[in-house]
Amino acid sequence: MPHAARLIAAAERRERAIADTLILDYARRSARAFSAAGLKGGSFDLVLDETGRLRTDDVLELDDGRLVEVVAAAEPLIEARAADLPGLTRLAWHLGDRHVPVEVLPNRLRLKRDAALERLLQSLGAKLTMIEAPFEPEGGAYAASHGHAHHDHGRGHDHTHGHGHHHHEH
- 63 with 2: CB under 8 angstroms? yes
How does pLDDT run across 101-112, given as a tens digit for each residue? 999 999 999 999
Rounded distance between C-alpha atoms, residue 159 and residue 151, angstroms: 8
List domains and CATH numbers for the chain. 4-72 (2.60.260.20), 74-134 (3.30.70.790)
* Higher-confidence position of 93 and 159: 93
The span from the CA of 96 to the CA of 90, in Å, is 10
- 22-59 confidence digits (pLDDT tens): 999 999 998 888 889 999 998 888 887 666 688 999 99
Q: Determine the Cα–Cα distance for residues 170 and 161; give it in Å rounded to an integer.
A: 19
DSSP conformational letter for 52: S
pLDDT over 60 (residue 152) = no
What's the rounded mean pLDDT across residues 129-134? 98
The residue with greater pLDDT, 117 or 166, is 117
Within a 13 Å sphere around the CA of 28, how many CA atoms are in the beta-carbon half?
18
pTM of structure: 0.74
**pLDDT tens digits, residue range 63-99?**
888 899 999 999 999 999 999 999 999 999 999 999 9
